[in-house]
């Protein structure tokens, strides 16, 4: 099939893009790796596409205080190859190779992944897990929305009409002994995940956990951070028994997504196993054990 007819607009600035998006039935296109297949199958029929790919200042990776800020139209492959991301946001570096296929990462953008809010998407899961924020401009003001409040559900966000995602802010941990873990399960490599888990921890000199965050996605309608589990693990040596027991309690409380791709029981069991693996990998990496 081919897309239904639509108008095409290429604004020259962020404010022009917001004005164009304020018109009814307008949607953003940047990398197009999610939108174009949807248009081709006529699952969406917008009246106009607003192309933001060439707007100056919307792409790039920079360190800014205690965070790394990534422009919305930054290609996923650029972040995957970035030395700054590898050194300062290692959890994102670990997750990026799981995002789609190499050809789609060449075109897909980080902002687009978050704005589309696909439950199986890896980038929103990492942003939520790390407590990151989405930077949004509405043509008048710029505001930051916590990632866990921005993603409301499957393909639903808190983005208002006429507003545009302009960047993502990933917190940087200053701790010296940091470890990360990321796992997902899918029918084939790079296909949409049925369940995924991301974890990042910091250890002190004695090997006790001083900081911990764990997030679960794909199995749930939106990515979620398990703060209660993290609180339980802080101060412990993260032995296998503590990790398994904590994860079991955390996953038991999850709202599991129901669709035709995998049963809720399978998704819950997979989420539990993946969360244990992610935490174990993060612990071992922080201890200096190759994972």
HSE (side-chain half, CA atoms, 13 Å) at 246: 24
The per-residue pLDDT for range 232-271, each reduced to its tens digit, is 999 999 999 999 999 999 999 899 998 888 999 999 999 9
pLDDT tier at 162, thresholds 50, 70, 90: very high
User: How big is the CA angle at 184 (ends 233 and 29), to the nearest 5 degrees?
Assistant: 115
The residue extents of the domains of the chain are 7-51, 61-171, 179-286
On whether the pTM is more than 0.85, the answer is yes
Q: At residue 65, does pLDDT exceed 70?
A: yes
The per-residue pLDDT for range 166-188, each reduced to its tens digit, is 999 999 999 889 999 999 999 88
pLDDT of residue 185: 96
Q: Give the mean pLDDT of 107-125.
A: 96
pLDDT of residue 1: 65
Q: Give the mean pLDDT of 56-78.
A: 97
The per-residue pLDDT for range 127-158, each reduced to its tens digit, is 999 999 999 999 999 999 999 999 999 999 99
Topology of domain 61-171, CATH: 3.30.465
Q: DSSP code of 75?
A: B
DSSP 191-234: SPEEEEEEEEEEE-TTS-EEEEEEEEESSSSS-EE-HHHHHHHT
Which among 1, 21, 265 is positioned nearest to 161, based on CA atoms?
Answer: 21
Kindly state the tokens that stand for 157. Answer: 């966000």
Beta-strand pair 193-203/178-186:
antiparallel
Q: At residue 73, does pLDDT exceed 90?
A: yes
As assigned by CATH, the class of the 7-51 domain is alpha beta
pLDDT tier at 43, thresholds 50, 70, 90: confident
The yes/no answer on whether domain 179-286 falls in CATH 3.30.1490.190 is no
Q: At residue 44, does pLDDT exceed 90?
A: no
Q: At residue 104, does pLDDT exceed 90?
A: yes
Question: What is the C-alpha end-to-end distance of the chain, expressed in Å?
Answer: 45
pLDDT tier at 191, thresholds 50, 70, 90: confident
């Amino acid at each position: 099939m081919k897309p239904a007819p639509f108008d095409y607009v290429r604004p020259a600035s962020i404010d022009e893009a917001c004005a164009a998006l304020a018109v009814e039935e307008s949607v953003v296109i940047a990398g197009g790796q999610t939108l174009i297949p949807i248009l081709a199958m006529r699952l969406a029929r917008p009246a106009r596409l607003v192309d933001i790919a060439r707007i100056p200042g919307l792409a790039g990776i920079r360190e800014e205080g205690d965070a790394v800020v990534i422009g919305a139209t930054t290609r996923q492959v650029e972040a995957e190859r970035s030395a700054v991301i590898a050194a300062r946001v290692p959890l994102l570096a670990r997750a990026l190779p799981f995002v789609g296929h190499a050809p789609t990462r060449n075109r897909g953008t980080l902002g687009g992944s978050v704005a589309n809010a696909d439950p199986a998407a890896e980038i929103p899961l990492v942003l939520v897990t790390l407590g990151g924020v989405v930077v949004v401009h509405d043509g008048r003001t710029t505001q930051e929305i916590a990632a866990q409040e921005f993603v409301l559900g499957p393909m639903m966000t808190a983005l208002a009409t006429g507003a545009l995602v302009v960047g993502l802010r990933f917190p940087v941990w200053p701790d010296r002994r940091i470890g990360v873990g990321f796992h997902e399960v899918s029918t084939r490599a790079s296909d949409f995940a049925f369940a995924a888990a991301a974890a990042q921890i910091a250890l002190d000199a004695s090997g006790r956990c001083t900081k911990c965050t764990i997030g679960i996605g794909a199995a749930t309608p939106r990515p979620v951070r398990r703060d209660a589990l993290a609180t339980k693990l802080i101060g412990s040596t993260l032995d296998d028994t503590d990790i398994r027991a904590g994860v079991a309690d955390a996953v038991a409380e999850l709202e599991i997504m129901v669709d035709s791709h995998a049963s809720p029981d399978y998704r819950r069991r997979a989420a539990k196993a993946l969360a244990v693996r992610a935490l174990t990998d993060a612990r071992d990496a922080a201890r200096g054990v190759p994972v």
